[in-house]
Amino acid sequence: MDSEQIKKDLAARGFDFSMLAAAIDKSPSLVSKVAARKATSRFVAAAIAKALEKPISEVFPDIDVYRTEVISDEQRKQKQRELVALLNK
């Protein structure tokens, strides 16, 4: 979806970028920039997708970083331990 389609679909649900920005405590400018692909923010992109009730991959199919799985803090710590062990061999 491009920025205009995102705006249109949000408006159909009674929302706009300013409302979304306030709901997630981010600036309307950042929400607009993420929608227009002028900035990246997984948090903002996920909020846009949730507001549209669509998967992030459907709203932003062209942004690879949004399609990668987010790992938990515990998974990250485990991977760091694995890396330390590998580097200390």
**pLDDT in the model for residue 66:** 87
pLDDT in tens, 22-79: 999 999 999 999 999 999 999 999 999 999 999 999 999 999 888 777 778 899 899 9
Percent of the chain having pLDDT more than 90? Answer: 85
Average pLDDT, the chain: 94
The CATH number of 3-87 is 1.10.260
Sketch the domain layout of the chain as residue ranges: 3-87
Task: Indicate the DSSP class of residue 55.
Answer: -
Range 13-36 burial, b when 16+ CB lie within 10 A, else e: eebebeebbeebebeeebbbbbbe
> At 4, is the pLDDT very low, low, confident or very high (cuts 50, 70, 90)?
very high
